[in-house]
């Protein structure tokens, strides 16, 4: 006869016992808590990185908007001072013409420098933006030359010729303003 103890399987005969239900639940909840902690840490790191990237992008957009506004203002003030000098020959207007012209060229250089530091992931837009800035610089320089000649003619008392040169400069202003507007649209689209 086989005894009852011999008929019952022992743990060594069937392998190690995995534990009680209670032990399994504790292990499962422990693993769940560990996974939640890992997910929280990863989520926090991702949100921190996204906030930093968003802040950098926002700073860039604000800087570009400020540069565009500054360029537009400097160009307008240069043109206004140039016109006033032809009419009044006030040295303060000539100084303002030179000062605002230099500031406009400085802003254009800053815009180009900023573009050279941006990644090439939008190369087509970047090239278009460089082209528009170059067109603005070229037209603005042509206007400055026309006004500088008008100023010299006005200084010599040749007012009719001075006015003709100023009109030549003003004829380019529409194209210049169109280029500035186009630059603004490119910055907005970016």
pLDDT tens track for 41-65: 999 999 999 999 888 878 877 888 8
pLDDT in tens, 127-185: 888 889 899 999 999 999 999 999 999 999 999 999 999 999 888 988 998 898 888 88
Q: What is the per-residue pLDDT across 91-142, written as a single tens digit (0 to 9) for each? A: 999 999 999 999 999 999 998 888 777 665 555 677 888 889 899 999 999 9
Q: Look at the chain and count its residues.
A: 190
- Of the two residues 100 and 10, the one the predictor is more confident about is 100
d(CA 74, CA 41): 49
Element (H, E) at 146: helix 123-155
pTM: 0.68
């Amino acid at each position: 006869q086989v005894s009852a103890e011999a008929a019952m399987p022992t743990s060594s005969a069937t392998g190690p016992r995995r534990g009680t239900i209670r032990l399994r639940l504790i292990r499962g909840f422990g693993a769940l808590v560990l996974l939640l902690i890992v997910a929280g840490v990863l989520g926090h790191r991702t949100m921190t990185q996204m906030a930093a990237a968003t802040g950098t992008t926002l700073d860039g957009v604000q800087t570009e908007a400020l540069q565009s506004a500054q360029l537009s203002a400097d160009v307008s003030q240069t043109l206004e001072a140039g016109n006033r000098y032809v009419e009044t020959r006030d040295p303060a207007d000539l100084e303002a013409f030179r000062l605002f012209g230099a500031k406009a060229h400085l802003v254009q250089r800053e815009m180009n420098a900023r573009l050279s530091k941006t990644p090439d992931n939008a190369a087509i837009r970047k090239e278009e933006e460089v082209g528009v800035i170059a067109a603005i610089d070229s037209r603005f320089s042509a206007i400055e030359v026309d006004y500088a000649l008008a100023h010299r003619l006005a200084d010599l008392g040749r007012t009719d010729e001075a006015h003709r040169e100023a009109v030549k400069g003003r004829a380019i202003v529409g194209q210049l303003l169109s280029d500035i507007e186009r630059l603004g649209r490119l910055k907005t689209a970016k």
